[in-house]
Amino acid sequence: MKGKPPLIDALTFAEAKAEHVRLADEIAKHDRAYYQEDAPTISDADYDALRQRYADLESAFPELVTPDSLTQTVGAAPSEKFAKIRHKVPMLSLGNVFSDEEVSEFGARVRRFLGLAKDAPLDVTAEPKIDGLSCSLRYEGGALMQAATRGDGFEGEDVTANVLTVKEIPHRLRGSVPEILEVRGEIYMTHSDFSALNERQAAIGKPLFANPRNAAAGSLRQLDSSITASRPLHFFAYAWGEVSDMPADTQLDMIAAFEAYGLPVNPLTVLCHSAEDLLKFYHGIEDRRASLGYDIDGVVYKVNSLALQERLGFVSRAPRWATAHKFPAQQAVTVLRGIDIQVGRTGALTPVARLDPVTVGGVVVSNATLHNEDEIARKDIRLGDTVIVQRAGDVIPQIVSVVLGKRPKDAEPYEFPQTCPVCGSAAIREIDSKTGTADVVRRCTGRLVCAAQAVEGLKHFVSRNALDIEGLGEKQIEQFFAEGLIKTAADIFRLEERDKHSLQRLKNREGYGETSVRNLFAAIEARRQVPVNRFIYALGIRHVGETNARRLARHFGTFEALRATAQRALEGSEARAEINNIEGIGDVVAESIADFFQEKHNESVLDALLAYVTPLPMEEIVSASPIAGKTVVFTGALERMTRDEAKAQAERLGAKVAASVSKKTDLVVAGPGAGSKLAKAQELGIETIDEETWLIRAAGAGD
Ligand code: IVH
């Protein structure tokens, strides 16, 4: 805020009136920025102060109160953002390929997984990859009931009111439609509508949108749906979620069915029979890219048969049966001004290039990743160098190479720091005990004393796929950490209690207001119960990402069971073997889990945290099945599916797949040639079935 405003008692009526008018304008401007542009330009506290001053003027001079005074009208919009909607079927993302070879590899991988011959026919659809935002539309009895954004893939925002204003999206579907039909697709803005919108924005002095995707997102995520209605948005349907009764058995026919229902679908979608067909489509679209009238960032390939899609399933968050073939990166030339070293959650020192700002494919770039010290040495990147930067899709920009002809004469080779720039501890490259080679990443050894590692760990803890605490983002964590308010994860849950007794209350601070503090405490309170897989992931154990966290949650069921085993998991112990034996978890991960739980400091941090947080049963992607929770071992040859496929299928049905037979095994699926594992199963009296029986059970379980 600029200076202190004069005391109200000292104002004349005329001065008060002038200030009242000025404040009304200013508040209205901030309301628009906040509610309509999704881009507030002042802090909540400053905003609250403006409102307070406005109200104080009216108390002192009641004549200022008129029916259209801001104190008499209801707030522009609810301050809560959108309600959350849980997706019945998760909205996943896509894997990427960039080269022609990788496209052939995609087909080869699919065939391998399905156990098909290298040259077996495989139909794959190809379609443009729209650069917009994905949206799920739920139709019941043919009527549009609900629309949600993708969000984190599991939970999105309820944007029904806004989607109802998109002209192209039918409120009612035509013909005979499944009772429940969740249509998924992309909401986007055309180039011409985007330019026209920015011209209108410029004419009324509003900020411009960076690109059509931001404009589409900003328009859809409006609290006032009349604003969405005024922005021309379009939609292409390309996928689905829950469907009560599938109208077709191929990708192409599903899209044809959508079209028959009256939904917009992309007319460029084609069916291909070979990798050559796919590449021909890709290069054809690449040539037409500029004249399509909307932004695309590549093409998407999808296995056409839905039966095969089902068999292929998903790995982590992306389907095995589809991939995106992205357009190549765009490049530009600029100058490297500095190299900053960032310290991550696991102590990794990451060099970041500071560049003279340059536009690369429509986006201004001023930072680029330099990966690690070997990369800098290999490319011999020096301060002051003229460099080529490139950007592909949403990937962080990279430095491709140095323009040697423009190197300043006095430029010295870059010396990578040997100590942590944050805590000063030695930074080392760990030597792999098996291979004897040094890790490419240099890490700070200061673990518990390093503030950077602590802060990054906290940011990870509250991040979207971890505890997902709204209103507690990276910025706030940094601020609270710097002030000593949050030092460990448990402190987050003590924030409200402490605040009550603090002289410097949060609500009185720059950047906060009564409402934002209330919302923050509510968001923290809401996370006192979280699915155990999220909780495990949130701990930031090295090598334990979302997939491994799910594996651990699935295997152990409860956090206490994991903890008890991991604490005993010394090298060579039975407990270590149990962790190691979980499918997908190898020596390195098992060791890192054991290390984490055996570390004394982590013990006390966990105890403190568990006093506040209750891990709930895991959030399963699949509903419970009779196979769920069972430990299955596959042994011998499988004839109807590959080993990978069998594993994936079992996991999809909620089973744990183990590599060896033990007392904990519930079921052994044995094919021809099964040997010692089968013998052991029989010795232990474990149920043993053949592949055929397994397939029948699996089919039943999936219903
Ligand atoms: S299919 C399970 N098809 O790309 C697969 N996605 O990078 C569902 N996207 O989140 C996605 N055009 O928002 C598919 N023709 C298309 C697409 C498309 C754009 C987006 C979508 C997805 C993202 C993944």
- Residue 93 Cα to ligand 1 midpoint, Å, equals 6
Domains in the chain: boundaries? 8-71, 95-326, 451-527, 531-616, 631-702
Q: Is the CB of 298 under 6 A from ligand 1?
A: no
pLDDT at residue number 128: 98
Residue bearing the bigger pLDDT, 243 or 660? 243
Ligand 1 atom nearest the C-alpha of 92 is 2
From the list 355, 395, 348, the residue with the least C-alpha distance to 373 is 348
- Residue 94 Cα to ligand 1 midpoint, Å, equals 6
Distance CA 274, CA 697 (A): 34
Q: Is the CB of 455 under 6 A from ligand 1?
A: no
Paired residues of 390 in beta bridges? 331, 398
- Residue 327 Cα to ligand 1 midpoint, Å, equals 15
Q: Are 322 and 302 in contact (CB under 8 A)?
A: yes
Q: What's the predicted TM-score (pTM) here?
A: 0.57
Ligand 1 atom nearest the C-alpha of 131 is 19
Q: Is the CB of 182 under 6 A from ligand 1?
A: no
pLDDT at residue number 501: 86
pLDDT at residue number 10: 82
Residue 32 predicted with pLDDT over 70? no
- Residue 326 Cα to ligand 1 midpoint, Å, equals 12
Residue 3 predicted with pLDDT over 60? no
Which ranges of 611-658 would DSSP assign to H, the alpha helix? 643-652
Which residue's structure tokens are 């594996």?
551
- Residue 90 Cα to ligand 1 midpoint, Å, equals 13
Q: Are 688 and 666 in contact (CB under 8 A)?
A: no
Q: Is the CB of 456 under 6 A from ligand 1?
A: no
Q: Is the CB of 324 under 6 A from ligand 1?
A: yes
Q: What share of the chain has pLDDT > 90, as a percent?
A: 57
pLDDT at residue number 48: 65
Check residue 172 and report its DSSP letter: B
Distance CA 532, CA 438 (A): 35
- Residue 277 Cα to ligand 1 midpoint, Å, equals 20
Query: Max CA-CA distance within the chain?
Result: 98
Phi, psi at residue 410, to the nearest 5°? -90, 10
- Residue 216 Cα to ligand 1 midpoint, Å, equals 16
Give pLDDT tens digits for 435-450.
888 888 999 998 878 9
Across 457-478, average pLDDT: 92
pLDDT at residue number 647: 85
Residue 77 predicted with pLDDT over 80? no
Q: Is the CB of 691 under 6 A from ligand 1?
A: no
How many C-beta neighbours within 10 Å does residue 175 have?
A: 10
| Domain topology for 8-71 | Helix Hairpins (1.10.287)
Q: Is the CB of 134 under 6 A from ligand 1?
A: yes
Please name the residue whose Cα sits nearest to atom 2 of ligand 1: 92
Residue bearing the bigger pLDDT, 306 or 483? 306
What does CATH list as the number for 95-326? 3.30.470.30
pLDDT at residue number 620: 59
pLDDT at residue number 4: 63
Q: Which of 22-31, 36-45, 161-170, 393-402 has the highest mean pLDDT?
A: 161-170
Ligand 1 atom nearest the C-alpha of 150 is 10
Across 342-348, average pLDDT: 92
Q: Which of 51-55, 173-177, 481-485, 517-521 comes out lowest in average pLDDT? A: 51-55
Residue bearing the bigger pLDDT, 356 or 1? 356
Distance CA 510, CA 475 (A): 13
- Residue 251 Cα to ligand 1 midpoint, Å, equals 14
Give pLDDT tens digits for 481-532.
999 999 999 999 999 998 888 878 888 888 788 888 999 999 999 999 999 9
Residue 548: HSE in the Cβ half-sphere, 13 Å Cα cutoff: 23
Ligand 1: residue of 96, 97, 124, 129 to mutate (most ligand atoms within 8 A of CB) is 129
Q: Is the CB of 197 under 6 A from ligand 1?
A: no
Distance CA 561, CA 410 (A): 60
CA geometry: angle at 518 spanning 513 and 519, to 5°? 100
Q: Is the CB of 492 under 6 A from ligand 1?
A: no
Q: What share of the chain has pLDDT > 70, as a percent?
A: 93
Which ranges of 119-250 would DSSP assign to H, the alpha helix? 160-163, 191-203, 212-220, 225-230
Distance CA 679, CA 683 (A): 6
Q: Is the CB of 325 under 6 A from ligand 1?
A: no
Residue bearing the bigger pLDDT, 417 or 48? 417
Burial profile 345-371: b = 16 or more Cβ within 10 angstroms, e = fewer: bbbbbbbbbebeebebbeeebeebbbb
Q: Is the CB of 92 under 6 A from ligand 1?
A: yes
pLDDT band at 671 (very low <50, low <70, confident <90, very high): confident
Which ranges of 557-688 would DSSP assign to H, the alpha helix? 559-568, 574-580, 587-598, 600-610, 643-652, 676-684
The torsion angle over the Cα atoms of residues 373, 377, 378 and 381, rounded to 10 degrees, is 110
Active site residues: 129
Q: Is the CB of 355 under 6 A from ligand 1?
A: no
Q: Is the CB of 319 under 6 A from ligand 1?
A: yes
pLDDT at residue number 73: 47
Ligand 1: residue of 94, 183, 297 to mutate (most ligand atoms within 8 A of CB) is 94
On whether the 631-702 domain is CATH 3.40.50.10190, my answer is yes
pLDDT at residue number 547: 86
Question: What are the start-end ranges of the E strands in 43-142?
Answer: 84-86, 96-97, 124-130, 133-140
Distance CA 703, CA 654 (A): 13
Task: Let me know if the fold of 451-527 is the same as that of 531-616.
Answer: yes
What sign results for the dihedral spanned by CA atoms 477, 483, 489, 490?
A: negative
Give pLDDT tens digits for 201-231.
888 877 778 778 888 998 998 888 888 999 9
Check residue 4 and report its DSSP letter: P
Ligand 1: residue of 87, 130, 263, 297 to mutate (most ligand atoms within 8 A of CB) is 130
On whether the 451-527 domain is CATH 3.30.200.20, my answer is no
- Residue 148 Cα to ligand 1 midpoint, Å, equals 15
pLDDT at residue number 40: 57
- Residue 82 Cα to ligand 1 midpoint, Å, equals 23
Give pLDDT tens digits for 466-475.
999 988 999 9
Distance CA 128, CA 233 (A): 18
Q: Is the CB of 336 under 6 A from ligand 1?
A: no
Give pLDDT tens digits for 588-602.
899 999 999 998 888
Distance CA 115, CA 247 (A): 28
Residue 566 predicted with pLDDT over 90? yes
How many C-beta neighbours within 10 Å does residue 243 have?
A: 18
Distance CA 458, CA 490 (A): 10
Q: Is the CB of 322 under 6 A from ligand 1?
A: yes
Phi, psi at residue 613, to the nearest 5°? -110, 135
Mean residue pLDDT of the chain comes to: 88
Domain at 531-616, CATH from 2.120.10.30, 1.10.150.20, 1.10.287.110, 1.10.1370.40: 1.10.150.20
pLDDT at residue number 38: 52
Q: Is the CB of 186 under 6 A from ligand 1?
A: yes
Give pLDDT tens digits for 93-140.
899 998 999 999 999 999 999 999 999 999 999 999 999 999 999 999
pLDDT at residue number 431: 87
Q: Which of 126-130, 313-317, 684-688 has the highest mean pLDDT?
A: 126-130
Ligand 1: residue of 89, 124, 134, 255 to mutate (most ligand atoms within 8 A of CB) is 134
Tokens for 397, please give them. 């920009």
Ligand 1 atom nearest the C-alpha of 128 is 15
In this structure, which amino acid lies at residue 312? L
pLDDT at residue number 359: 83
Residue 702 predicted with pLDDT over 60? no
- Residue 91 Cα to ligand 1 midpoint, Å, equals 9
pLDDT at residue number 137: 98
pLDDT band at 549 (very low <50, low <70, confident <90, very high): very high
Residue bearing the bigger pLDDT, 282 or 36? 282
Please name the residue whose Cα sits nearest to atom 22 of ligand 1: 93
**Integer CA distances (angstroms), 423 to 247, 442, 451, 481, in order:** 61, 14, 7, 15
Please name the residue whose Cα sits nearest to atom 21 of ligand 1: 134
Residue 141 predicted with pLDDT over 60? yes
Which residue's structure tokens are 């950007």?
391
Distance CA 290, CA 142 (A): 36
Ligand 1 atom nearest the C-alpha of 134 is 13
Check residue 362 and report its DSSP letter: T
Residue bearing the bigger pLDDT, 697 or 570? 570
Residue bearing the bigger pLDDT, 466 or 644? 466
